[in-house]
Amino acid sequence: MSEPTGAARRRGPFKVGDQVQLTDPKGRHYTFTLEAGKSFHTHKGAFPHDELIGAPEGTVVRTTGNVDYLALRPLLPDYVLSMPRGAAVVYPKDAGQILAMADIFPGARVVEAGVGSGSLSTFLLRAIGDQGMLHSYERREDFARIAQENVTRYFGGPHPAWRVTVGDLQDHLSDTEVDRVILDMLAPWECLDPVAKALVPGGILCAYVATTTQLARTVETIREHGAFNEPTAWETMVRTWHVEGLAVRPDHRMIGHTGFLLTARRLADGVVPPRRRRRPAPGAYGTDYTGPGAQSGGEGAEQG
Ligand SMILES: C[S@@+](CC[C@H](N)C(=O)[O-])C[C@H]1O[C@@H](n2cnc3c(N)ncnc32)[C@H](O)[C@@H]1O
């Protein structure tokens, strides 16, 4: 049985063409591609790539300036944070949430928009594997090209499960029988009709948005739409810790805000979503509310 795409590049001794991530004594990272006969230069001397070719991961190399560097392959989170960017990337902490909460499984048929720099595409392709299908839509050709270069470099060649279409998702989405749709774009609420058509009953729509106004509009429009169950919205905060002797405390700096996530499930055709039994918070749909459903008092305004 042949190995899954990209797996051979993730293990075994270092080979020509592998990416190597060096860590210096201060914990700083440097990434380069292994080439026979070349040298890696630092401000504290150099060492030949040949010293690493054939060596196991986790090897320490010493420069001519007597400084030791630890050599490992970059992990996917390292890779997406250091690769060339067109648009802002989905951070690893959110990619992990998307894979878990949107229930991405091997063989899944997934639609994604926009592609941006290809960070989320790479995570999705690893999770669905060669037997899955990822169809990614991106309105900007230059971003699609950057994403294709990043994803192809990561897997060491084209991924057999990946297709990219340049254009707006709402104008081009023609896939059917899709298990999951992941939207990372400015206006997910504009895409609900084609997304509902594409998704199988029980399928998951997952949206990643940067601001509270986008979050509110997306959730309210999903409620109004009728083809989905009640959306769930959340964000995650990851705080690293300093652990040294008796000095055990949260690190001073953290990634404060990336974005909000929401998921909703596609109902079977013709099914009317069960009435919400929970009363909306007082004033939630008061006279100041102007969002989707405002005329009728809003779907969410039903009384329990
Ligand atoms: C934040 S970036 C996506 C980042 C990407 N998920 C990643 O991890 O690298 C948002 C992208 O959505 C694209 N976009 C916005 N609206 C779109 C639409 N309706 N259809 C397709 N692409 C869209 C933008 O051009 C932009 O590249």
Q: CA–CA separation, 102 vs 207, rounded Å?
A: 10
Q: CA–CA separation, 204 vs 192, rounded Å?
A: 12
In the three-class reduction of DSSP (H, G, I as helix; E, B as strand; rest coil), residue 206 is classed as strand
Q: pLDDT per residue over 176-200, tens digit each?
A: 999 999 999 999 999 999 999 999 9
DSSP state for residue 38 in the 8-state scheme: -
148 CA distance to ligand 1 centroid (A)? 14
Q: Which ligand 1 atom minimizes the distance to the CA of 86?
A: 27
What's the one-letter identity of residue 35?
E
Taking residues 53-81, what's their average pLDDT? 97
Split at pLDDT 50, 70, 90, the class of 66 is: very high
Q: How far apart are the first and last CA of the chain?
A: 57
Taking residues 208-212, what's their average pLDDT? 98
Please say if the pLDDT value at position 297 is more than 60: no
138 CA distance to ligand 1 centroid (A)? 6
Q: pLDDT per residue over 216-269, tens digit each?
A: 999 999 999 999 999 999 999 999 999 999 999 999 999 889 999 999 999 999
**pLDDT number for residue 296:** 55
253 CB neighbour count, 10 Å cutoff? 8
Q: CA–CA separation, 156 vs 59, rounded Å?
A: 23
Q: pLDDT per residue over 14-44, tens digit each?
A: 999 999 999 999 999 999 999 999 999 998 8
**pLDDT number for residue 294:** 85
214 CA distance to ligand 1 centroid (A)? 14
**pLDDT number for residue 275:** 74
Average pLDDT, the chain: 94
**pLDDT number for residue 299:** 45
Please say if the pLDDT value at position 277 is more than 80: no
Q: Check whether 246 is labelled as a binding-site residue.
A: no
Q: Is the CB of 186 under 6 A from ligand 1?
A: yes
Q: Check whether 184 is labelled as a binding-site residue.
A: yes
- The domains located in the chain, with CATH, are 15-74 (3.10.330.20), 78-270+280-301 (3.40.50.150)
Q: Check whether 117 is labelled as a binding-site residue.
A: yes
Q: Check whether 3 is labelled as a binding-site residue.
A: no
Taking residues 45-61, what's their average pLDDT? 97
Q: Is the CB of 84 under 6 A from ligand 1?
A: no
Contact at 8 Å (CB) between 143 and 113?
Answer: no
Please say if the pLDDT value at position 87 is more than 70: yes
Q: In this structure, which residue's CA is closest to atom 5 in ligand 1?
A: 116
Assessment of whether the complete model's pTM goes beyond 0.85 = yes
Please say if the pLDDT value at position 103 is more than 50: yes
Read off φ and ψ for residue 96, nearest 5 degrees. Answer: -60, -40
156 CA distance to ligand 1 centroid (A)? 24
Ligand 1, pocket-test mutation among 76, 186, 258, most atoms within 8 A of CB: 186
Q: Check whether 65 is labelled as a binding-site residue.
A: no
Q: In this structure, which residue's CA is closest to atom 26 in ligand 1?
A: 116
In the three-class reduction of DSSP (H, G, I as helix; E, B as strand; rest coil), residue 132 is classed as coil
Q: Is the CB of 112 under 6 A from ligand 1?
A: no
Secondary structure percentages of the chain, helix, strand, coil, to 5: 25, 25, 45
